Amino acid sequence: MKAYEIAEPKGIDSLQLVDRPIPKPKAKEVLVRVRATSLNYRDLVTVKGGAVTRGIRLPLVPLSDGAGEVVEVGNEVTRFKPGDRVAASFFQSWLTGPIEPAFFRSALGGAVDGMLAEYTALGEEGLVRIPDYMSFEEAATLPCAAVTSWNALVTAGHLTGGESVLVMGTGGVSIFALQFARMHGARVIATSSSDAKLGRLRELGASEVINYKTTPDWEIKVLEMTDNGGVDHVVEVGGAGTLAKSIRAAKLGGRISLIGLLAGGGQIDPMPILLKGITLQGIYVGSRTMFEQMNRAMEINRVHPVIDRVFPFSEAREAYRYLESGAHFGKICIAV
């Protein structure tokens, strides 16, 4: 079978197309014919040899996100049969409950080989069924970005109708957060560096939009839009570079989910967190149970993931370059 490997993570050109034997599923494993994968910012960091690659075994098959069909099952498998349509869970061993250190060792495309291959053999517990109405490409976008947003807003965030949510930028995590917030009857304020993308955010249901490049004091704008009260939830993908503004934009007793680090460094004053009684919660993807709950909710609401482009398998490097450009809106997929 064909697979991509990173032997020495030194940039996008370190992705190499190789031949590997089709894996033979062990007793509790399922052989999946991968049909589509999707990219996350983390995959770019991985191929460049950033912090997430510390301690991983090389060569590595990259990407946490993928979906496909079951073609063979081990003799002790009970959850799946050939023909089932499945997606892989980001942390193969995080089934339910709170996060534990052991789960880190099961992260696909990080601690263990990921999905950018024609076939993969995974433990049956690490897979979820995908909704019938979704294409393989759509389902492939779910394991990392969607589950992270679901955990931030719903599982850990306890979002309810009528609340307000601030989403930042138009990457995978933020667009899923917008969709889940709308699904729960929440009001969404969304930001982007591009006016063209702001129009698309409105089409997806954002009631107010702000260009964070032309309005660098966007947190003041958020306060104006909320009668100086601030928002109930901030889906924070900028990290230290934007956190001070997010704290300002959050309401008294509001909640900020710390998810990403796109905006680089910055200084944080803890005083306003304390004075405003803000809950600052770190989010690291989520469990299989969260993934399954999210799929049920998406199915009931017929929510379609927003895919910007699907690249052919032979153009995996181009897909990474497109992600790097930041031109995308939502998710980027690679068909397999």
Ligand X SMILES: NC(=O)c1ccc[n+]([C@@H]2O[C@H](COP(=O)([O-])OP(=O)(O)OC[C@H]3O[C@@H](n4cnc5c(N)ncnc54)[C@H](OP(=O)(O)O)[C@@H]3O)[C@@H](O)[C@H]2O)c1
Which stretches of the chain bind ligand X, using CB under 6 A?
Answer: 40-42, 144-145, 148, 168-174, 191-194, 197, 212, 237-238, 241-242, 259-263, 283-285, 323, 326
Closest residue to ligand X using C-beta atoms: 171
Cβ partners under 8 Å of residue 234, min gap 6: 165, 166, 168, 246, 249, 250, 254, 255, 256, 257
For residue 70, the minimal CB distance to ligand X (Å) is 26
Peptide bond into 272 cis (omega under 30): no
Choice between 254 and 260, CB closer to ligand X: 260
> Nearest Cα to 332, choosing from 160, 145, 100?
145
Choice between 63 and 259, CB closer to ligand X: 259
For residue 190, the minimal CB distance to ligand X (Å) is 9
For residue 142, the minimal CB distance to ligand X (Å) is 12
Choice between 278 and 323, CB closer to ligand X: 323
For residue 110, the minimal CB distance to ligand X (Å) is 11
Tell the residue number behind the tokens 């895919």, with chain if given.
Answer: 307
Q: How many CA atoms lie within 13 A of 268 on its CB side?
A: 13
Cβ partners under 8 Å of residue 103, min gap 6: 91, 93, 94
- Under DSSP, the state recorded for 7 is S
Choice between 104 and 284, CB closer to ligand X: 284
Cα 101 to Cα 94: distance, rounded to the nearest angstrom = 10
**How is the chain split among helix, strand and coil, in percent rounded to 5?**
35, 25, 40
For residue 18, the minimal CB distance to ligand X (Å) is 26
Choice between 79 and 194, CB closer to ligand X: 194
Structure tokens at 284: 């690291």
Choice between 73 and 89, CB closer to ligand X: 89
Host H or E run for residue 71? strand 65-73
For residue 258, the minimal CB distance to ligand X (Å) is 8
Choice between 164 and 174, CB closer to ligand X: 174
Choice between 30 and 235, CB closer to ligand X: 235
Q: Give whole-number Cα distances, 75 to 120, 242, 270, in Å.
A: 17, 51, 55
Structure tokens at 196: 């063209």
The DSSP result for 73-128, as a single string, is E-TT--S--TT-EEEE-SBTT--SSS--GGGGGGBBTTTB--S-BSEEEEEGGGEE
For residue 68, the minimal CB distance to ligand X (Å) is 21
Structure tokens at 216: 């660098």
For residue 321, the minimal CB distance to ligand X (Å) is 12
Q: Decide the pairing of beta strands 85-88 and 164-168.
A: unpaired
